[in-house]
Amino acid sequence: MKTAAASLLLFVLVMAGCSGETQESAESFEISGEGIQIEGAWARPASEGRMSAAYFLITNFEDQNDNLISVQSDVAQLVEIHESYELDNGMMGMREVPELEIPSQSTIRLEQGGLHIMLIQVTRTLADGETFELTLNFANHGEQIVEIPIRL
């Protein structure tokens, strides 16, 4: 018995090592709040003229679904809602997400290797420890300004 259990454990560890974690981009849980809440925001450092990505959690406490329709910032030439995804041939690519639906009473996770706010050609160097502002435009909820800390 002992041997079988050990083998099974090994099997599970190997599986985890090779395939990495599968990730969910949406989940529901019960916390209280109101409106749209942004948490855990951060962005990658980048030197002027280069790329960065911003990440955060968006929770919609309203009874209606909402959509993140655009994002603006004066720290980049172009700001887009993006998603990294695996192509059929196994390669990793990135695509624009025209609108991001935030269902009622749920959280959407922007995180490394998945959904992100893409900052194309930043207009100033974004250094570790600094912050910048992003303006998120929601269909129902309107404009929301978020302070994004830059870190590694």
Partner 1 sequence: MKKRAVLFNLQLFTFLFLLSSCSSPALDDYSDVSYELIDQNGETVIFPDDFKGAPLLVGFIYTNCPDICSFITANIGKVYNELEDPGNTQFLLVTFDPERDTPEVLKSYADAFDMDKEPFRFLTGDPETIDSFMQRVSLRTQESYSRELENDERMYFLSHTDKILLIDQNSRLIFDYGGSMTPVSILIEDLNKL
- Residues in contact with Cu ion by the rule CB under 5 A: 82, 94, 118
Which range of residues in 24-32, 62-70, 83-91, 138-146 is near partner 1 by CB under 8 A?
A: 83-91
Which 1-30 positions form the footprint of partner 1 (CB under 8 A)?
3-4, 7-8, 10-11, 14, 16-21
For residues 121 and 49, the answer to whether their CB atoms sit within 8 Å is yes
Query: Bridge partners of 87?
Result: none
User: CB of 45: closest distance to partner 1 in angstroms?
Assistant: 4
Return the number of other C-beta atoms located less than 10 Å from residue 44's C-beta: 19
Enter the tokens of residue 80.
């887009």
Query: Bridge partners of 79?
Result: 119
Return the number of other C-beta atoms located less than 10 Å from residue 124's C-beta: 14
Closest CB to Cu ion among 14 and 94? 94
Q: Which partner, Cu ion, partner 1, none, binds residue 90 by CB below 5 to 8 Å per kind?
A: partner 1
Closest CB to Cu ion among 59 and 116? 116
Instruction: Candidates 37, 84, 105, 144: give the one binding partner 1 (CB under 8 A).
Output: 84
Strands (E), 75-141: 76-86, 92-96, 100-102, 106-109, 115-122, 131-138
Instruction: Candidates 39, 128, 133, 147: give the one binding partner 1 (CB under 8 A).
Output: 128
Q: Which partner, partner 1, Cu ion, none, binds residue 95 by CB below 5 to 8 Å per kind?
A: partner 1
Enter the tokens of residue 45.
């450092």
For residues 111 and 43, the answer to whether their CB atoms sit within 8 Å is no
Alpha-carbon distance 69 to 81, whole Å?
9
Residues that bind partner 1 (CB under 8 A): 3-4, 7-8, 10-11, 14, 16-21, 44-47, 50-53, 77-78, 82, 84, 87, 89-96, 112-113, 116, 118-121, 125-128, 152
